[in-house]
């Protein structure tokens, strides 16, 4: 009887172990992002994170087509923009929808989106590094929804493999590196995007 | 039958061995059982140097290369050693400096030449932060440790009666690092210190593997740090 009881107790554990072997590993990217040291533009920015960005996750598949890693980076992207944008603009308002912009007293609306996410794992590339490459589409709209600017920003991050570092930690660090690269690139090139530059001139905030 | 007092004496002696002799034995073994390393340090001076007590330096790793990037741990090691001893120099930690001056010292945006630093210092926020830290010199460390000539193999087995390993493995490590020193007050490169450290590591295994590791990167770190400290102090 005692053997049967033990088997009954071990049964669910064995099933759980078998199921965990079948599923993909989940990586929820976590990082901290410093505020940029740049002169703020004296305008009020409305920022809108759509559901695709908020819940963005990338799935890496094995060579046989099975899900291997699910990298969830939507929340950390929002954290990054919430850290960067208040240093770039005098005021920042987070919008629940694009329709809320006219009533929010904002000068402009910023709506970022992720177009492409690529992950390179050392076991596949035979390199001693985890690499992440991300392509973004940045949109700048007037409060009424009219087009101001639309441009592409790419970012890249890598982290070397280390003896005691897990694959999940490697993916996390490479993604955080890519996000820092996005922040630095976006911050320093924002004013030089031709349409943005023209729009800033019209608002008297060109220099 | 062993008397209680004899058993106590044996136990006491065993404890004494564990407390005193065993750590000493392990220390002696670790000293003798590390493999040999050869380190060469070169210095190329382009200008006068010297630092005052209220001034500091920052040591940053170069991470622009596509094939490798300077390890953060090596940069930290050099910084910690430069900040020690009788000729200690105040060193601003790399991460703190890079975060504080974000986004100007990221891999994509960091100045590659002294003329870039001069342009960067025209940014009021950057100049203000560097002045607040009292930074006199920026030291760029660039390099890596490569492992080559891996040879041999070790096999391990476990059976009902116990387990063990048998075999022999060896490899060679080569650390090459450069430290370029920029004077923030004159926007000029004042010199370069290069270190090249090589060593062969061995792991013979007869039942138990005995690693004889050449501390190549650690030696490169201490040699580079000692020379850098002397260089910055004007020696």
Could you tell me if B7 and B54 lie in one domain?
no
pLDDT of residue B151: 92
Residue B15 confidence (pLDDT) above 80: no
Query: At B173, which CATH number?
Result: 3.30.160
Could you tell me if B13 and B72 lie in one domain?
no
Whether ipTM tops 0.90, in short, is no
Are residues A37 and B107, on separate chains, in Cβ contact within 8 Å? Answer: no
- The count of structural domains within chain B is 2
Point out the residue among A36, A39, A158 whose CB comes nearest to the CB of B103: A36
Q: What is the mean pLDDT of residues B9-38?
A: 58
Q: How far is A181 from chain B (nearest CA, A)?
A: 7
pLDDT of residue B95: 95
Tokens 């990037």 found at: B69
- Span of A76-85, B3-12, B76-85 with lowest mean pLDDT: B3-12
- Sequence-separated (6 or more) residues with CB below 8 Å from residue B204: B168, B210, B212
Contacts of A31 in chain B (CB under 8 A): none
Q: How far is A60 from chain B (nearest CA, A)?
A: 23
Point out the residue among B69, B106, B123 whose CB comes nearest to the CB of A181: B106
Q: CB pairs below 8 Å between A and B: how many?
A: 40
Could you tell me if B151 and B228 lie in one domain?
yes
At residue B153's C-alpha, the angle toward residues B147 and B154, to 5°, is 120
- Sequence-separated (6 or more) residues with CB below 8 Å from residue A70: A24, A25, A26, A27, A57, A58, A59, A60
The C-alpha atoms of residue A46 and residue A44 are separated, in whole angstroms, by 7
Contact B110, B60 (CB under 8 A): yes
Q: What are the pLDDT digits (tens) for B36-67? A: 899 999 999 999 999 999 999 999 999 887 77
Q: What is the mean pLDDT of residues B188-199?
A: 97
Taking the CB of residue B144, how many other CB atoms lie within 10 A of it? 17
The number of angstroms, rounded, from the C-alpha of A8 to the middle of its chain's C-alpha atoms is 44
Task: Identify the CA nearest to A109 among candidates A87, A66, A142.
Answer: A142
Could you tell me if B108 and B47 lie in one domain?
yes
pLDDT of residue A23: 75
Q: What are the pLDDT digits (tens) for B119-143? A: 999 999 999 999 999 999 999 999 9
Could you tell me if B95 and B68 lie in one domain?
yes
Point out the residue among A39, A158, A184 whose CB comes nearest to the CB of B103: A184
Contacts of A183 in chain B (CB under 8 A): 102-103
Rounded to 10 deg, the angle between the B216-232 and B72-82 helix axes is 50
Per domain, the residue ranges of chain A are: 25-202
pLDDT of residue B2: 45
**In three state form, how does the secondary structure of chain B look?**
CCCHHHHHHHHHHHHHHHHHHHHHHHHHHHHHCCCCEEEEEEEEECCCCCCCCCCEEEEEECCCCCCCCCCHHHHHHHHHHHCCCCCCCEEECHHHHHHHCCCCCCCCCCCCCHHHHHHHCCCHHHHHHHHHHCEEEEEEEEEEEEEEEEEEEEEEEEECCEEEEEEEEEEEEEEEEEEEEEECCCCEEEEEEEEEEEEEEEEEEEEEECCECCCHHHHHHHHHHHHHHHHHCCC
pLDDT of residue A19: 45
The C-alpha atoms of residue B5 and residue B27 are separated, in whole angstroms, by 32
Could you tell me if B68 and B52 lie in one domain?
yes
Contact B76, B94 (CB under 8 A): yes
Q: What is the mean pLDDT of residues B167-183?
A: 96
DSSP per position, A141-155 = E-TTS-EEEEEEEEE
CATH topology of domain A25-202: Rossmann fold (3.40.50)
Does B109 reach chain A within 8 Å, measured CB to CB? yes
Residue B224 confidence (pLDDT) above 60: yes
Could you tell me if B19 and B46 lie in one domain?
no
Could you tell me if B118 and B9 lie in one domain?
no
Determine which of A34, A153, A154 to mutate to test the interface with B (most B C-beta atoms within 10 Å): A34
The C-alpha atoms of residue A84 and residue B102 are separated, in whole angstroms, by 10
| Ranges of residues in chain A whose predicted pLDDT is under 70 | 1-22, 207
pLDDT of residue A108: 97
Q: How far is A117 from chain B (nearest CA, A)?
A: 19
pLDDT of residue A1: 43
pLDDT of residue B7: 47
Instruction: Compare all CA atoms of chain B with the CA of A34 and give the residue at the minimum distance.
Output: B99
Could you tell me if B16 and B71 lie in one domain?
no
Which range marks the domain in which residue B185 is found?
A: 35-232
Could you tell me if B124 and B144 lie in one domain?
yes
Could you tell me if B96 and B202 lie in one domain?
yes
């Amino acid at each position: 009887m005692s053997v049967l009881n033990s088997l009954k107790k071990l049964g669910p554990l064995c099933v759980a172990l078998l199921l965990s072997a079948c599923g993909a590993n989940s990586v929820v990217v976590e990082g901290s992002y410093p505020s940029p040291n740049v002169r703020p533009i004296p305008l009020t920015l409305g920022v809108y994170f759509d559901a695709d960005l908020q819940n963005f996750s990338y799935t890496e598949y094995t060579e046989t087509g099975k899900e291997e890693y699910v990298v969830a980076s939507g929340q950390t992207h929002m954290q990054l923009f919430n850290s960067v944008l208040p240093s770039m603009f005098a005021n920042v308002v987070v919008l629940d929808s694009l329709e809320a912009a006219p009533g929010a007293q904002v000068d402009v609306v910023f709506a970022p989106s992720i177009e492409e996410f690529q992950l390179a794992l050392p076991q596949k590339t035979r390199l001693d590094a985890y690499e992440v490459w991300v392509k973004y589409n940045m949109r700048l709209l007037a409060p009424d929804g009219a087009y101001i600017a639309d441009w592409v920003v790419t970012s890249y991050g890598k982290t070397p493999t280390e003896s005691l570092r897990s694959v999940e930690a490697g993916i996390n660090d490479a993604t955080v590196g890519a996000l820092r690269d996005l922040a630095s690139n976006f911050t320093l090139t924002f004013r030089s995007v031709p349409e943005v530059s023209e729009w800033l001139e019209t608002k008297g905030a060109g220099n | 039958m062993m008397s209680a007092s004899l058993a106590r004496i044996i136990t006491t002696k065993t404890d004494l061995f564990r407390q005193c002799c065993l750590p000493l034995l392990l220390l002696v073994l670790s000293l003798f059982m590390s493999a040999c390393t050869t380190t060469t340090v070169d210095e190329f001076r382009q200008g006068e140097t010297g630092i005052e007590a209220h001034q500091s330096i920052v040591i940053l790793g170069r991470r622009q290369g596509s094939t490798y990037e300077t390890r953060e741990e090596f940069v930290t090691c050099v910084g910690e050693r430069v900040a020690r001893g009788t000729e200690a120099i105040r060193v601003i930690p790399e991460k703190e400096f890079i975060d504080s001056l974000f986004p100007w010292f990221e891999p994509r945006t960091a100045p590659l030449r002294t003329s870039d630093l001069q342009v960067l210092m025209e940014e009021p926020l950057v100049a203000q932060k560097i002045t607040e830290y009292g930074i006199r010199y920026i030291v760029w460390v660039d390099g890596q440790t490569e492992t080559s000539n891996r040879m041999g193999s070790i096999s391990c087995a476990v059976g009902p009666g116990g387990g063990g390993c048998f075999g022999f493995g060896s490899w060679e490590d080569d650390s090459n690092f450069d430290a370029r020193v920029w004077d923030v007050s004159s926007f000029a490169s004042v010199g370069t210190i290069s270190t090249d450290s090589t060593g062969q590591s061995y792991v013979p295994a007869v039942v138990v593997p005995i690693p004889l590791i050449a501390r190549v990167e650690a030696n490169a770190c201490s040699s580079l740090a000692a020379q850098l400290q002397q260089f910055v102090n004007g020696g």
